[in-house]
Amino acid sequence: MIQASGWNTRRLFSAAIVLGLLAAVFCAPRGPDRAVDSPDGVTIAYHIEGKGRPALVFVHGWNCNRSYWRDQVAYFARTHTVVAIDLPGHGESGAERKDWTIPAFGADVAAVVKEEGLKRVLLVGHSMGGEISLEAARLLPDRVIGIIGVDTFQDFAATVSPEEIASAVAYYRANFKASMEMIARSMFPWGVDPNLVERVVRGMTTANPGISLAVMESLFGYRPERALRDVRIPIRVINSDRRPTNIAGNRQLAASFGARIMTGHGHFLFLEAPGEFNHVLEETIAELAPDR
């Protein structure tokens, strides 16, 4: 439900093979169709397909990878150039980085956009991918026409104190795997496909602890005000109703902010209900780029 704002033995055998391959694709990142070096020399793997404007660049969240966008890539590549990135330290991208920060990730996304020569771009960022998209947009003022956050930007003004950040990082460091499992399971509502939940749990609990906690620290300490002053483009979110989205408060920092709320879903709403999500995303794209 939305509120405002896919007969013979040989054929059966072939179908079984195809289904097995599709399952393998979902459970692990796809092979790196292309790669480019980040500004600090880390290799960034990404997938690109389709043709059409605006280009859609999908940015995954914390401890995820580009395979999470499988259903969106397949759907939107019919009408758009679509890019899905593995951020450094995730998926098949490199991990040789000293400073794991949100601005560094933003530079990674910008490097891919420039490498592909994309001129009219919508950045679609899940969770911390929203903040990363803000930083990428700062570096691409003549290319990015809008940002679409996915279960993110609930409150631009929310802050976490240095003491709270240190306490949280220490807690997760003390028992990383159990803590990641707890976080992952809490992100889903009751009744979600248990196989989906286990895939996400497996991905988060096997993440590199050093990188994961460094990114967490940077994310908790990130303040978007400066980026919002620099980025003069529309910002939209497609959020679940698990946490309230402060639309009025956000518009004080970004007048162009708007939200669509999907009810009854969790943090990974685009995995839980891909058909419903794709419909809402399609509407949001049409709103931001009515003339393509």
How confident is the model over 141-162, as pLDDT tens digits?
Answer: 999 999 999 999 999 999 999 9
d(CA 24, CA 28): 6
Asked if residue 23 has pLDDT above 80, the reply is: no
Could you say which of 1.10.510.10, 3.30.420.10, 2.60.120.10, 3.40.50.1820 is the CATH number of the domain covering 33-288? Answer: 3.40.50.1820
Other C-beta atoms lying within 10 Å of the C-beta of residue 109: 30
Residues 6 or more apart whose Cβ sits within 8 Å of residue 112: 36, 44, 46, 57, 83, 85
Nearest to residue 45, comparing CAs of 80, 99, 89? 89
Per-residue model confidence (pLDDT) at position 90: 96
The model's confidence at residue 114, banded by pLDDT at 50, 70 and 90, is very high
pLDDT score of 32: 52
| 286 token code pair | 């049409």
Statement: residue 3 has pLDDT above 50: no
Residues 74-91: pLDDT tens digits?
999 999 999 999 999 999
8 Å CB contact between 146 and 234: yes
Domain extent listing, the chain: 33-288
Q: Which of 2-16, 28-42, 66-80, 241-255 has the least mean pLDDT?
A: 2-16
pLDDT for res 88: 97
158 to 17, 32, 89, 235, 254: CA distances (angstroms): 48, 36, 27, 17, 14
Write out the two tokens for 279: 């419909």
Residues 154-206: tens digit of each pLDDT:
999 999 999 999 999 999 999 999 999 999 999 999 999 999 999 999 999 99
Residue 22, pLDDT score: 33
How sure is the predictor about 266, in pLDDT bands with cuts at 50, 70 and 90?
A: very high
